[in-house]
Amino acid sequence: MPQLDVKTIYFLVGLFATTTGAVLSILALTGRFDRWLKYWGISNLCTGAGILLLTFRDIVPDFYSIAVANMLVIIGYFLLMATAQGLHHRNMTWWPHLLFLGLIAGLFLMMQNADSYYNERTALSSVACGYYALRVAKITKQIAREEDIVSAYLVFGIFTLAALVLGMRILASLTYHLGGDSIFSSGGMSMWVILLAASIGPLWNMSMLLMIMERINRNWIGRALRDPLTGALNREGLKRALENNTMRRHSDSHPFTALLLVDIDHFKQVNDQLGHAFGDELLRSFADIVHHQLRSSDLFARQGGDEFVIILPSSGEKEARDVAGRLQNAFAQETDRVKPDGLAVTLSIGIAVTESDQLSGSLHQLMARADSALYQSKHQGRNRITSAQAA
């Protein structure tokens, strides 16, 4: 049975990563994507170039095939973390990572002799790459949970597996059980690591691509289900949200769910006297207030014009009145600041409450009851909160 040519496998893995990086970098140059694509492309280029340089061991000076090669691979992992951070829309503090990479580079310069420090170099590179693999796993898990992106769990699993393998490699190097005296030794730990890399390298690029495509698809669907002016759900968006399992879970955790129907008083006069641009700005201000006042489980939708729907799962009449009062106070402060030429721009609110397990089937009736309560608020002088029970 012929032995595996480990150096050839390294070369093919490096070539694949370099080619992938070149394609991603070319796409990044079009300027149609965010910065994370550039990081992703350079990450593959660095990792691929580092692995290719490793295959020139004993052909080029040790400085290039050891120090430079290992640092390129580590920088590749670091840039993968930067890619994940960018996808998560989080700013990253660069200087601690640059100091860490500088320290690692200094240690590799001290251990660049190919005839010595094999186990130490292996442990060092595995620690650095394992750390960044764990960071990628953590970030993608957060993306999966916060945005409900299923493919992000796949990325999380792949990088968790990579970190686990690198952890085993650290243990093997510290106990001198790597097998052989070179990364190209057949049958040793390094051979199995590169075989695994050959398997999961393409997989993690594909899984990240799936995660990105799923997010883009969700964003497009999200735009179709939202009012472009206020960012609130439209009617179809509200319907979809009520059908969502997550929404049902929130509703089922409490016996009651409240619905608020909110109307901006004298909004027609605002448009007539101050113009539609001012009216649009007022609607955006109101939407901003609502977004800051509500919980992540609450729903906010625009019914049309200046009428809005707010659904509060796990809430009864008291909680609904508390929310309505806070909205009125915050909106009053905002309109006092804007001072729309003496117009009394206030909020009239109608409240209706239903049993949580009846929400999806009784939404039409619930809206009708809230609309009746809203009419009473308007009829009794506006700037009022009326519950359907009292209507």
- DSSP labels for 212-250? HHHHHHHHHHHHHTB-TTT--B-HHHHHHHHHSHHHHHH
What is the Cα Rg of the chain in Å? 29
Which residue is it, tokens 């109307």? 263
Name the burial class of residue 141, with classes exposed (0-12), middle (13-18) and buried (19+) by CB atoms within 10 angstroms of its CB.
middle
**Reading across the β-sheet that carries 299-304, which strands appear in turn?**
299-304, 307-312, 256-264, 347-355, 385-387
Residues 385 and 351: beta-carbon distance below 8 Å: yes
- Tell me the pTM: 0.63
* Contact present, 132 and 77 (Cβ < 8 Å): yes
Q: Say what the pLDDT of residue 136 is.
A: 94
| pLDDT of the residue at 360 | 65
pLDDT in tens, the chain (391 residues): 345 577 888 888 889 999 999 998 998 888 777 788 889 999 999 999 999 999 998 899 999 999 999 999 999 999 999 999 988 888 889 999 999 999 999 999 999 888 888 889 989 999 999 999 999 999 999 988 877 788 889 999 999 998 998 898 898 888 887 776 777 777 666 667 777 766 777 888 888 888 888 877 766 666 677 888 888 888 888 887 777 644 454 444 567 889 999 999 888 888 888 888 888 888 999 999 998 888 877 888 998 888 999 999 888 889 999 999 999 999 988 877 666 566 778 899 999 998 877 776 677 888 899 999 999 998 888 889 999 864 4
Quick one: 235-390 is in which CATH superfamily?
Answer: Reverse transcriptase/Diguanylate cyclase domain (3.30.70.270)
Query: How far apart, in whole angstroms, are the C-alpha atoms of residue 338 and residue 107?
Result: 61
Q: Any alpha helices (H) in 148-227, and if so which ranges?
A: 150-174, 189-224
What is the number of other CB atoms lying within 10 angstroms of the CB of residue 366? 22
Alpha carbon 79 to chain centroid, angstroms? 17
The rounded distance, in Å, linking the Cα atoms of 160 and 263 is 50
Q: Tell me which residue of 259, 265, 306, 315 sits closest to 287, measured CA to CA.
A: 306
pLDDT the model gives residue 246 = 46
Strands 385-387 and 347-355: parallel
What tokens were used for 98? 């640059």
Q: What residue segments make up the domains of the chain, in order of their start?
A: 6-224, 235-390
CA 117 to chain centre: 41
**CB contact at 8 A, 308 and 288:** no
The predicted structure's pLDDT at residue 263: 93
Q: How far is CA 96 from the centre of its chain?
A: 23
Instruction: Name residue 89's amino acid.
Output: H
